[in-house]
Amino acid sequence: MIRFGMHASLWGAGWTREVAELAIPEAANHGLEVIEIPLLEPDRVDVAHSRALLAKHNIAPTASLGLPAEVGAPLNADRATPFLLRALEVAHALGCNCLSGVTYSTLGYRSGSPPTEAEYMTIVRALKPVAKRAGELGMMLGVEPCNRYETHMLNTAKQSVALLERIGEPACMVHLDTYHTNIEEKGFDAALTDARGLCRYVHLSESDRGVPGSGNIDWTNVFRALKARNFSGDLVCESFVNMMPQLAAALSVWRPVAKDRHEVLNIGVPFLRSSAQAAGLIA
């Protein structure tokens, strides 16, 4: 079943009680079904508080992260695994069906060279026990390929599938993002083809990470491609209105991408829904 959602960065830089109290009711008021909760600091999340609000407003949570620099998988597999396992447990406690994002590296970290076999082996070693635990919890572990300016490890759907094949656990998925595919792939349709049915989560992000419909993403192609492949996962809008300073630096976000969250909610979200309806993806 397709669910529309929003990344929590629209409301705040991090997931606090205050952000939850603002985001969850507002998401419900705009007809959204999912909020993607960032778990860069999993131990600071008030799980009981969030669960109560999510249940009250009938909003489902998902979770994502990029590894903090001190536990980045290509360099620190032994530290990455326990961090991811802890984030996975918090995500499960929140009621999430997945933990996704840049689970394999630190955003902004690049070696300056193409990825090496040793780096991939380190990532596989770090993620395999996490993927196994995700399966035990009835969850999915996702990997999101990002553009070349944010990571050198996974830039395409094809690279992501190859990594998941090496991890060899069934509870793994590819998480595509229209912002990144617009840079790295021949097209969103081509990325879905290369994902070979493993794409179960999509970030709907405009070409400047701003208001959907205001940039150069070919949304008609995106939704037609999803329809043609009978996509039935979550479609989550990601517009970085509020960001942690370290994340903004890693993503090179130096200026506002939207006037405010209301512009994204009142213009971007209806645009995405109407585009999906026009493609026959949703009723």
Catalytic annotation, residues: 144, 238
**For residues 186-219, b (16+ Cβ closer than 10 Å) or e, as one string?**
eebbebbbbbeebbbbbbbbbebbbbbbbbebeb
Backbone angles phi, psi at 213, to 5 degrees: 100, -10
> What single-letter amino acid sits at 94?
L
SS3 of the chain: the string is CCEEEEEHHHCCCCCCHHHHHHHHHHHHHCCCCEEEEECCCHHHCCHHHHHHHHHHHCCEEEEEEECCHHHCCCCCHHHHHHHHHHHHHHHHHHCCCEEEEECCCCCCCCCCCCCCHHHHHHHHHHHHHHHHHHHHCCCEEEECCCCCCCCCCCCCHHHHHHHHHHHCCCCEEEEEEHHHHHHHCCCHHHHHHHHCCCEEEEEECCCCCCCCCCCCCCHHHHHHHHHHCCCCCEEEECCCCCCCHHHHHHHCCCCCCCCCHHHHHHHHHHHHHHHHHHCCCCC
Report the distance separating Cα 28 and Cα 18, nearest Å.
16
